[in-house]
Amino acid sequence: MALITRTAGALHRRPRLRLTLLLTAPLLWLAVLYLGSLSVLFVSAFWTTNSFTSEVVKVWSTDNFHELFTVPVFRQVILRSIGVALAVTALCAVIAFPLAFYTARVAKPKWRPLLVVAILTPLWASYLVKVYAWRLILSEGGLADWMLKPFGLGGPGYGLTAAVLTLTYLWLPYMILPIHTALEQLPANLLDASADLGAKGWRTFRSVVLPMVLPSVAAGSVFTFSLSLGDYITVQIVGGKTQLIGNLVYSNIELNLPMAAALGTVPVVVIVLYLLAMRRTGALSSL
Amino acid sequence: MEGMAIRLQGLRKSFGETTAVAGVDLEIRDGEFFSMLGPSGSGKTTVLRMIAGFEAPSGGRIELAGQEVTGLAPFERDVHTVFQDYALFPHMTVEQNVAYGLKVRKVPKAERLVRARKALAEVRLEGFGKRRPSQLSGGQRQRVALARALVGRPRVLLLDEPLGALDLKLREQMQVELKALQREVGITFVFVTHDQEEALTMSDRIAVFHQGRIEQVGTPAEVYERPATPFVASFVGTSNLLEGESAHRIVGTPGTYSIRPEKIRVLKESAEADQPEHATAVGTVAEVVYLGDATRFLVDLDAGGRLTALQQNLETSSEDVAAYRGTRVRLQWHRRHAVAVPVPD
Ligand SMILES: Nc1ncnc2c1ncn2[C@@H]1O[C@H](COP(=O)(O)OP(=O)(O)OP(=O)(O)O)[C@@H](O)[C@H]1O
Ligand SMILES: [Mg+2]
């Protein structure tokens, strides 16, 4: 008993030690699983394959990475993937902001929890179900065509646009939630103070609301960006012939594992760069 | 004739079932330091928020400088507010906070900076301009809020318990500074507080709020010396009322009377009244409280009721004081200090 009390006391006085002991096991697990598999990926990207037998040859070379930047197809696909991720992120932000503004500040307080649940419900449905639903919507003569017909327009059909739309739908909740939280926590006093000093609604929005919510937009964008960059199923289902990094990784796994690994490191590097950029907005502290 | 900065007529506000403000009529003069004093929940903040335009009245009118503003938005009124929790913009520096109102009003950048610096100097915060609000102490934030509201030189400054979050020492210091600043800039200050001492020391005039109504408006001396209702008598200063039968017997005429504790002298029971205009009452000391500079006596009167008397500790010390408990004493006061308080029916 005394020993336990003494140990507890010692731990209480040394918060760092306590934290270390507490976190060691999960951190080790994380390190082995996460970083371990990442480094296996990274190392294998430097190997090559025998082009006849498709067997991995464990000889160190940077050829794979060289190819990534020189072979036009690879370059195009990488840029296209980043472009898709950015477009999805931008669309999500533009759509999420007014929605979150409504759920957090316009709707009556008693409805707000319900609205949050409504935002979350799509996350409970199966990914594939949602994507196939969009495949139906975007199919020839589908809902999209039917709705745009009165305007003399047609749906986008399967392709890059369809992939961007579907991904936007899929990841939208991840953008709405942080913005909703930030808007809800925005002190009403600050809005009063702004109006008090002579600012009209638009001015208050630009100078007070937006800067204070921006870190949360950035936080949401970390989700939408990285989820979009890693996705390859949606594009297979609604993207027509469009290829993204994920598809190339997938198709290379059988034939050329090291090349697939090299391709696989690309999103990792891009996401790390993106995180570094977002860190400057203070987004990571609001995650 | 002096101009009126603010005129409220029959101002009312209900939130659903609760009536926060139940009909307020009030005139506040130009350049006045005006306090709204009242207990928690008496409607002070709500009145202030209606003057600022954050809350729409359920009834009545608001005039600022002779112009009706009842339906106008906050940004259309020439008043600025110092919020109880300061409401500084956390993402802006101190200087940007102060300059915000000028920026909104499209004052050129160079002039903005000069005026913001000057306003910060006025509240003795030179050199703090580049900091964020989170890097300031409570008192410093309070000054930033003040500078931000003052820099645009509004006609009226509304202050909602601006000193509430400060510790006693700092609060007393800020009371002096605030009063000096008000005299210097000559702007009308409407100051909300529930601290009667603060209201008495700082104000030109005070309105005492109770349950959404004003019970009395007057100078600190008027409110303190001649309370208009029993509520004012008990809320401003220590409650010291003679009521009913005992009032009849001691004062001679029936009614409710308020006597301020410091007006009452504590004498030996055997002492005679000094002069015919003095009234006296005998009783037993129930409690003695040593306050350092003074001693408070709680005396149960033979005629019924209890009075508090406050005596300066000219010669007595804490040891002598304790010996008074349970002894018989005679209380004496000048008849004009027993103020008849009209009881509303
Ligand atoms: N937004 C609101 N919704 C509902 N009731 C409110 C609202 N604001 C104020 N009230 C009620 O109105 C009454 C007056 O409130 P008010 O804030 O004006 O009091 P106050 O005098 O400023 O008190 P304090 O000294 O505690 O700040 C209170 O009973 C309060 O509960
Ligand atoms: Mg209040």
Write down the ipTM of this complex.
0.81
* CATH number of A203's domain: 1.10.3720.10
Residues 6+ apart with CB under 8 A from B138: B165, B166, B170
Contacts of residue A180, defined as CB under 8 A and 6 or more positions apart, other chains included, come to A100, A103, A104, A116, A119
The verdict on A155 and A26 lying in the same domain is no
- Answer yes or no: do A171 and A260 share one domain: yes
- Ligand 1 centroid–CA B41 distance in Å is 5
pLDDT at A208 (0 to 100): 93
Q: Is residue A62 part of a domain?
A: no
Q: Which range has the top average pLDDT, A142-151, A231-240, B57-66, B120-129?
A: B57-66
The answer to whether residue A134 sits within a structural domain is yes
Q: Do residues A92 and A201 share a domain?
A: yes
Q: Give the CB-side neighbour count of residue A122, counting CA atoms within 13 A.
A: 18
The CATH code of domain B241-340 reads: 2.40.50.100
With vertex at residue B71, the alpha carbon angle to CA B67 and CA B76, rounded to the nearest 5 degrees, is 65
- Residue B241: per-residue pLDDT: 86
Residues 112..171 of B with a Cβ closer than 8 Å to A: which? 148-149, 152
B27 beta partners: B7
Atom from ligand 1 closest to the CA of residue B194: 25
- Say whether A75 sits in a helix, a strand or coil: helix
What is the pLDDT at residue B313? Answer: 83
Q: How far apart are CA B72 and CA B87, in angstroms?
A: 22
Residue A281, in any domain of the structure: yes
Is there an atom of ligand 1 within 6 Å of B12 CB? no
Nearest to A198 among B75, B85, B91 (CB): B75
Percent of residues in chain B assigned helix, strand, coil, to nearest 5: 30, 30, 35
Q: What is the pLDDT of residue A191?
A: 92
Report the nearest-CA residue for atom 31 of ligand 1.
B41
Residue type, B282: V
Range of the domain at A269: 70-286
- Asked if B96 and B131 count as a contact pair (C-beta separation under 8 A), the reply is no
> A109 CB near a chain B CB, below 8 Å?
no
A246 in the same domain as A121:
yes
Ligand 1 atom 24, closest CA: B40
- Report which DSSP code applies to B105: T
Burial of A96 (0-12, 13-18, 19+ CB in 10 A): buried
**pLDDT tier, A283 (very low <50, low <70, confident <90, very high otherwise):** low
Q: Sheet containing B33-37: which strands, arranged edge to edge?
A: B79-82, B156-160, B188-193, B33-37, B205-210, B213-218
Instruction: Give the position, in ligand 1's atom list, of the atom nearest the Cα of B16.
Output: 4
Q: What is residue A264's predicted lDDT score, i.e. its pLDDT?
A: 86
Residues contacting A155, CB < 8 A, separation 6+ = A137, A138, A140, A142, A143, A144, A145, A148
Residue listed under structure tokens 């986008």: A156
Is residue A3 pLDDT above 80, yes or no?
A: no
> What's the rounded mean pLDDT across residues A58-69?
82
Query: What is the whole-number distance in angstroms between the Cα of residue B164 and the centre of ligand 2?
Result: 10
Closest CA relative to residue A192, chosen from A184, A183, A201: A201
Q: Which residues of B touch A195 (CB under 8 A)?
A: 53-54, 73-75
Question: Are residue A127 and residue A236 in the same domain, yes or no?
Answer: yes
B337 vs B39: CA distance, rounded Å: 25
Of A190, A192, A199, the CB nearest to B54: A192
User: Which residues, 6+ apart, have CB-to-CB distance to A48 below 8 Å?
Assistant: A56, A57, A59, A61, A63, A64, A258
* Chain B residues within an 8 Å CB radius of A200: 73, 75
Q: Which residues of A touch B74 (CB under 8 A)?
A: 192, 195-196
Residue at A50 is within a domain: no
The answer on A240 and A137 residing in a single domain is yes
Is the domain of A32 the same as that of A77?
no
Q: Is A204 on the interface with B (CB under 8 A)?
A: no
Strands B79-82 and B156-160: parallel
Q: Please, what is the average pLDDT of chain A?
A: 85
Does the pLDDT of residue A87 top 80, yes or no?
A: yes
Q: Which residues contact A201 (CB under 8 A, 6 or more apart)?
A: none
Closest to B186 in 3D by CA, of B52, B3, B64: B3
pLDDT band at A123 (very low <50, low <70, confident <90, very high): confident
User: Which chain B residues touch A217 with a CB distance below 8 Å?
Assistant: none
Going by their DSSP bridges, the two strands B188-193 and B205-210 should be labelled as unpaired
User: Any idea which fold B4-235 has?
Assistant: Rossmann fold (3.40.50)
Burial degree of B45 (CB within 10 A; 0-12, 13-18, 19+): buried
Q: Is residue A53 part of a domain?
A: no
Dist. CA B170–CA B167, nearest whole Å: 6
Please give the Cα distance from A158 to A279 (Å, whole number).
36
Nearest to B99, CA basis, from B83, B123, B115: B115
Do both A134 and A242 map to the same domain? yes
> What pLDDT does residue B58 have?
93
Q: Within 10 Å of residue A124's Cβ, how many Cβ atoms?
A: 7
What is residue A1's predicted lDDT score, i.e. its pLDDT? 64
Pick the residue with more confidence: B11 or A61? B11
Give yes or no: residues A13 and A75 share one domain.
Answer: no
Q: In whole angstroms, what is the distance from residue B6 CA to residue A71 CA?
A: 76
The tokens describing B339, both together, are 């103020």
**Segment A5-28 mean pLDDT:** 77
Q: What integer pLDDT is reported at residue B1 of this predicted model?
A: 41
Q: How many C-alpha atoms does B334 have within 13 Å on its Cβ side?
A: 4
How far apart CA B180 and CA B92 sit, in angstroms, is 28
Q: What is the pLDDT of residue A157?
A: 80
Q: Does the C-beta of B18 come closer than 6 Å to ligand 1?
A: yes
pLDDT value of residue B303 = 86
Q: What are the φ/ψ torsions at residue B344 (nearest 5 degrees)?
A: -70, 140
Regarding beta strands B4-15 and B18-29, do their DSSP bridges make them parallel or antiparallel, or are they unpaired? antiparallel
Residues A30 and A169 occupy one common structural domain: no
Which residue type does B161 have? E
For the record, the structure tokens of A177 come out as 């939630």
Q: What share of chain A is helix, strand, coil (3-state, %, to 5)?
A: 80, 0, 20
Please list the residue range(s) of chain B that carry CATH number 2.40.50.100: 241-340
List the single range of A2-6, A14-18, A281-285, B174-178 with lowest mean pLDDT.
A281-285
Question: Residue B278, SS3?
Answer: strand
**What are the Cα distances from residue A180, in Å, to A112, A176, A222, A286, B327?**
10, 6, 16, 13, 68
Residues of chain B with CATH 3.40.50.300: 4-235
CA–CA distance, B170 with B177 (Å, rounded to integer): 10
Looking at per-residue confidence, does B203 or A10 come out higher? B203
- Which atom of ligand 1 sits closest to the CA of residue B19? 12
Lookup result for tokens 């003074």: B294
Residues A99 and A20 in one domain: no
Q: Please indicate, yes or no, if residue A162 is contained in any of the structural domains.
A: yes
Residues of A (211-270) whose Cβ lies below 8 Å from B: 211-212
The band of A91, judged by pLDDT with boundaries at 50, 70 and 90, is: very high
Which residues does chain B have with pLDDT short of 50?
Answer: 1
The total of structural domains in chain A comes to 2
A110 and A161: one domain?
yes
Q: Would an 8 Å CB–CB cutoff place B100 in contact with chain A?
A: yes
How far is Cα A264 from Cα A40, in angstroms, rounded to an integer?
11
